[in-house]
Structure 1
Amino acid sequence: MAVGTAEAPDLVTVPTRQGLEAVDIIRRAASLAGGVGPVLHDGSGDTLGFLVPPGTADAWDMPGSACTQTNGRGMRFDDVSPAAGDTGWLLPPEAVGPVTDPDVLRAALGEAARLIEAADNCR
């Protein structure tokens, strides 16, 4: 599925720190299903959003994150730019593969949370 097609992807949002760790984890594990897809960042720097296949929101239950149906929201994802609503691409669609596999993302977010907790406990 290409981003910007008729069926809009869902969006998993997570705190930026956990999201950046998850991006690194997925990229390091190149054998994971398709790697990381497009990732949005908000203008405030508080969250990252991973595009996932449509329907993911129906069964998403990962603590500390949210998954919402985008239903297009009146915009095409390939039109999003840093000037569009203070949201821009961390990983734009043209630079990465299609949407992120939700199982791969779930595993990476879990690992990221554990790494962050371990790092915070070492202080």
Structure 2
Amino acid sequence: MTGFQMKAAVEWLLSAAPDAATCRRRWERDPHGMVLLPAGGLWDVLVLPGELGYPTLDVLSRCADRPGPVLSESGGVRLGFFVPPGTASRWLGTGVRAVGRGAWIVVPHPGRPAGVTNWLVRPDGSGTLNDPGLLELAMHEAVAGEG
């Protein structure tokens, strides 16, 4: 990721924060800086268990030019796929947690390893998100590939 892309990714993430200056300071002062950002404004997040999330990301990476942002949390136990806002209120799926308006997510700085929560696919700053339809197809393909 270039310096310009990193700056764009930081600015994009901070644009979701109720207090961007405080978030920026936390990221700058703490090498493992994590901030809480609200879901439902710029994005929702679909959280998949790792055993489904990793194969889904593999399929998605083959199908999309570039997947949207994806977080790995708790050492890969869960993966969070950033999707368009409103997706969470319409999502039906067993074992998938939909995080939308009224919820908050832990977000690490896009340029540093953060420990428990890390980016598998960093935001590029352009606002690119994972397409929910393509993500659903990738999940089906991932499950079909297990057998």
Identify the TM-score tier after normalising by the shorter chain.
Answer: 0.7 to 0.9
Larger Rg: 2
Distance 1:20 1:74 in 2: 20
Q: SS where residue 94 of structure 1 aligns?
A: coil
Structure 1, unaligned runs of 5 or more: 119-123
Distance 1:54 1:107 in 2: 19
Distance 2:105 2:53 in 1: 25
Equivalent position of 1:121 in the other structure:
none
Equivalent position of 1:38 in the other structure:
69
Match among 9, 17, 34 for residue 43 of structure 2 = 9
Answering whether residue 51 of structure 2 is matched by residue 28 of structure 1, we say no
Equivalent position of 2:118 in the other structure:
88
Higher relative contact order (CA 8 A, sep 6+): 1
Q: Against the structure 1 CA distance between its residues 82 and 71, is the aligned structure 2 distance closer, same or farther, given a 3 Å change threshold?
A: farther
Q: Could you tell me which amino acid in structure 2 is paired with residue 52 of structure 1?
A: V
Structure 2, unaligned runs of 5 or more: 1-8, 17-40
Distance 2:105 2:63 in 1: 34
Using structure 1 for the length normalisation, give the TM-score.
0.73
Q: Could you tell me which amino acid in structure 2 is paired with residue 19 of structure 1?
A: G
Distance 1:101 1:49 in 2: 13
Distance 2:105 2:89 in 1: 21
Distance 1:8 1:90 in 2: 19
Deviation at 1:69, TM superposition (A): 0.9
Answering whether residue 61 of structure 2 is matched by residue 61 of structure 1, we say no
Using structure 2 for the length normalisation, give the TM-score.
0.62
Deviation at 1:8, TM superposition (A): 2.9
Paired residue total: 111
4+ runs deviating over 2 angstroms:
2-8, 70-75, 77-84, 94-97
Deviation at 1:68, TM superposition (A): 0.9
Q: Residue 55 of structure 1 contacts residue 69 of structure 1 at CA under 8 Å; is this kept in 2?
A: yes
Q: Could you tell me which amino acid in structure 2 is paired with residue 56 of structure 1?
A: T
Match among 80, 84, 87 for residue 49 of structure 1 = 80
Q: Residue 38 of structure 1 contacts residue 96 of structure 1 at CA under 8 Å; is this kept in 2?
A: no
Q: Against the structure 1 CA distance between its residues 107 and 37, is the aligned structure 2 distance closer, same or farther, given a 3 Å change threshold?
A: same
User: RMSD value over aligned CA atoms?
Assistant: 2.9
Match among 136, 139, 147 for residue 106 of structure 1 = 136
Distance 1:9 1:103 in 2: 15
